[in-house]
Amino acid sequence: MRNNDSTGEFNILPVTTGEGRKALEGMQRGKAAGEDRVTTNLLKDCGEIVRETVPTVYMNCVLMGRVPESWKNANIIVIHKKGDVKYLKNCRPISLLSVLYKLFTKIIANRIKATLEFNQPNHQAGFCTPQKTIFICGNVLTCTKHT
State the pLDDT confidence band at 116, using cuts at 50, 70 and 90.
confident
Q: Write the DSSP string, 88-110.
A: GGGEEEEEE--HHHHHHHHHHHH
Tell me whether residue 133 is in a domain. no
Name the average pLDDT for the chain: 82
Tell me whether residue 66 is in a domain. yes
Amino acid at 49: I
Q: Which residues contact 141 (CB under 8 A, 6 or more apart)?
A: none
DSSP state of 72: G
Alpha carbon distance, N-terminus to C-terminus of the chain: 42
Tell me whether residue 39 is in a domain. yes
Residue 59 sits in which domain range? 2-121
Tell me whether residue 48 is in a domain. yes
Tell me whether residue 138 is in a domain. no
If one counts the domains in the chain, the total is 1
Tell me whether residue 128 is in a domain. no
State the pLDDT confidence band at 114, using cuts at 50, 70 and 90.
confident
For 5-40, what is each residue's pLDDT tens digit?
555 566 677 888 888 888 888 899 998 999 989 999
Tell me whether residue 137 is in a domain. no
pLDDT greater than 80 at residue 126: no
Tell me whether residue 84 is in a domain. yes
Q: CA dist 22 to 2, 68, 141, Å? A: 19, 23, 35
For 37-77, what is each residue's pLDDT tens digit?
999 999 888 877 777 888 888 888 988 889 999 999 999 99
